[in-house]
Amino acid sequence: MRFNAWSKKRIAAGVKRLTSRKKAYVDDPDVFFITPPLPWWFIKKFLFRDEGAESPEELQYVINKIFRRQVGLDELFHVHVLKEGLEV
């Protein structure tokens, strides 16, 4: 799975344990578990710390930068639980 510099830094620090993607990467060897689609508002409100962010606002900023647009609160994402000890 590919990660941006922001995510790589947080994975290396051990604070990013989840990654949200539009598509479920079921065959990725770095993924332990994948949720059914969840709305962005839920991820932003309840999972921001495990996504590696210090606040919901930081997570929104990061996802907007990745998509190069404002990601809507009702957009659906698969949350991927990363395997422990992941090195990127």
For 35-62, what is the mean pLDDT?
Answer: 98
Res. 85 pLDDT band, cuts 50 70 90:
confident
For residues 20 and 63, what is the distance between their CA atoms, to the nearest angstrom? 9
Tokens matching residue 16 = 């990013």
Output b/e per residue, 49-80; b: 16+ Cβ within 10 A: ebbbbeebeebbebbeeeeeeebeeebebbbb
Give the pLDDT score at 60.
98
pTM, two decimals, is 0.94
pLDDT (tens digit, 9 = 90+) per residue, 49-79? 999 999 999 999 999 999 999 999 999 999 9
Report strand pairing: 38-39 vs 18-21: unpaired
Domain boundaries defined on the chain: 5-82
Contact indicator for 74, 40 with CB cutoff of 8 Å: yes
For 24-48, what is the mean pLDDT?
Answer: 97
